[in-house]
Each structure stands twice: as C-alpha cells, then as structure tokens.
C-alpha cells in the first residue's frame, strides 16, 4: 500500500469507528397479537416515551390455560430493504430446555440478556402465571445492539412467535431503527 492509500484506509477505518460509536437504536413500534384467545390474551402492549431520554416497552399477557409445561419460541429478525426481508436469524428453541441451559442457544441468550431483568419469564418451567415484560428501557436494547454486537444501520423487525404444545398462540413484533 502506498502512503496515500494507507492514509485513506485509516480515515475510512476511523469513520466506521465513529459511526459505530454514535449509532443509536430506537424502538418505533411494538405489536402483540394473540392467535388463540382461549389460551391467553394481551392485557397491554405499548411503547411509551416519558421524555427524550427515557422510553420503554411494556407487555402483559394473561395466561388462561395454566400451567404451561411445553413452550417453544421462534425468533426471526428482518431488515427493511424493499419491504422487510429475513436477516441474520431465524431460530426456534424449546424454552423449557433453554431456561435450564442458557448456553444452548447463543442467539436467544443474546436477546434474553436484554429482557431478563424486566420480565417474569426468567425462571424454569412450568409457567402458571401471567407473563409480563415491564418497562424495558430502550437504552438497554441500545447498548446491546450498538455496543455489545454492533448491527448495521437500518430499520429492523424482531418477530417472536410463542408456541405452546406445538400450536402458535401469540406473536410479538418489535420494530426499531438503528441510525
Ligand atoms: C426522564 O424521566 C426519567 C423518569 O421519570 C427521569 O429519571 C429523568 O431524569 C428524565 N430525564 C430528563 C432528561 O428529563
Ligand atoms: C423460519 O424457519 C422456519 C422453519 O425452517 C420456517 O417455517 C419459517 O417460515 C421461517 N421464518 C422466516 C421469517 O423466515
Ligand atoms: C441485570 O441485573 C444484574 C444484577 O443486578 C446486572 O448485573 C445486569 O447488568 C443487569 N442486566 C441488564 C441487561 O440490565
């Protein structure tokens, strides 16, 4: 490499670094759908902006058929190009097995680390109570997706499907932007 090429290369590297450090995640929407209202339904599901620096997501699902001893979670990520397209992940785990051994799925564990302190889903099976995710700060997600594992800029959708006894019961969609 000539000195000039070397300098250009360094400049580009610095630009990337700066872009990464200043990138920011924002939730833009959260949507919850119960696909089987006899099994359970959402009591609430919203994104709230308290002020410019404090925004959070709260979700509460009332479980009507408890206890639940068999549950699978599918997590698929999409990125918007020309419409939302599958991007990077599409994984399904047996939640009971995962909760016993968190290392069994690094992808699910990455996201579980984000929500763990804000949910009552953080114990071993069975589940015999309503499931909630309360006041998950956007800042926590921001740290995980821009510092822990930097994602490229863009609009994202994280879709989660909740499958109990091999039937899809609920769908949660988290929309966000990294800019
Ligand atoms: C935003 O609201 C939170 C919670 O009420 C508060 O602790 C924080 O100081 C507020 N931040 C600003 C910049 O007003
Ligand atoms: C994820 O994979 C499953 C099983 O291979 C498939 O049925 C499903 O359609 C996929 N989801 C997405 C969003 O691609
Ligand atoms: C969750 O709480 C534990 C213990 O208080 C703390 O060490 C950890 O950093 C928290 N994780 C997140 C993502 O906030």
Q: What is the CATH number of the domain that holds 102?
A: 2.70.220
Domain for residue 5, yes or no? no
Domain for residue 13, yes or no? no
> Which atom of ligand 1 sits closest to the CA of residue 52?
13
Q: For 116-154, how does the pLDDT look when each residue is reduced to its tens digit (9 = 90+)?
A: 999 999 999 999 999 999 999 988 887 777 766 777 889
Tokens of 153: 């800029």
Q: What is the structure's pLDDT at 150?
A: 72
Domain for residue 158, yes or no? yes
Domain for residue 10, yes or no? no
Domain total of the chain: 1
Conformation bin of residue 123: beta by default, left when phi > 0, alpha when psi is -120 to 50: beta
Domain for residue 53, yes or no? yes
Domain for residue 6, yes or no? no
Domain for residue 18, yes or no? no
Residue range of the domain that includes 112: 23-178
Q: Return d(Cα 147, Cα 92) in angstroms, integer.
A: 25
Out of 56, 111, 117, 141, give the residue to mutate to test ligand 3, the one with the largest number of ligand atoms within 8 Å of its CB: 117
> Which atom of ligand 2 sits closest to the CA of residue 76?
13
The number of angstroms, rounded, from the C-alpha of 89 to the middle of its chain's C-alpha atoms is 11
Q: What is the mean pLDDT of the chain?
A: 87
Distance (angstroms) between ligand 2 centre and the Cα of 104 equals 20
* C-alpha distance from residue 168 to each of 60, 72, 121 (Å): 18, 9, 18
Domain for residue 44, yes or no? yes
Distance (angstroms) between ligand 1 centre and the Cα of 137 equals 12
Q: Which of 36, 64, 61 is nearest to 168 (CA)?
A: 36
Predicted model pTM: 0.83
With tokens 């051994």, the residue in question is 101
**Quick one: which H or E segment has residue 12?**
helix 3-22
Q: For 27-60, how does the pLDDT look when each residue is reduced to its tens digit (9 = 90+)?
A: 899 999 999 999 999 999 999 999 988 999 999 9
Burial of 92 (0-12, 13-18, 19+ CB in 10 A): middle
Q: What is the structure's pLDDT at 18?
A: 46
């Amino acid at each position: 490499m000539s000195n000039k090429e070397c300098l250009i290369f360094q400049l580009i590297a610095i630009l990337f670094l700066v872009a990464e450090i200043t990138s920011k995640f924002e939730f833009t929407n959260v949507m919850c759908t119960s696909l089987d209202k006899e099994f359970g339904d959402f009591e609430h599901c919203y994104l709230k902006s308290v002020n410019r620096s404090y925004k959070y997501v709260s979700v509460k699902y009332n479980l009507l058929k408890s206890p639940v001893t068999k549950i699978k979670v599918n997590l698929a990520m999409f990125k918007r190009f020309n419409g939302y397209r599958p991007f990077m992940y599409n994984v399904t785990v047996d939640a009971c097995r995962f909760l016993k051994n968190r290392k069994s799925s690094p992808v699910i564990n990455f996201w579980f680390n984000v929500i763990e302190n804000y949910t009552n889903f953080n114990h071993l099976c069975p589940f015999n109570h309503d499931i909630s995710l309360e006041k998950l700060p956007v800042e926590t997600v921001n740290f995980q997706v821009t510092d822990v594992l930097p994602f490229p800029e863009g609009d994202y959708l994280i879709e989660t499907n909740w499958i109990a006894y091999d039937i899809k019961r609920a769908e949660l969609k988290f929309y966000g932007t990294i800019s």
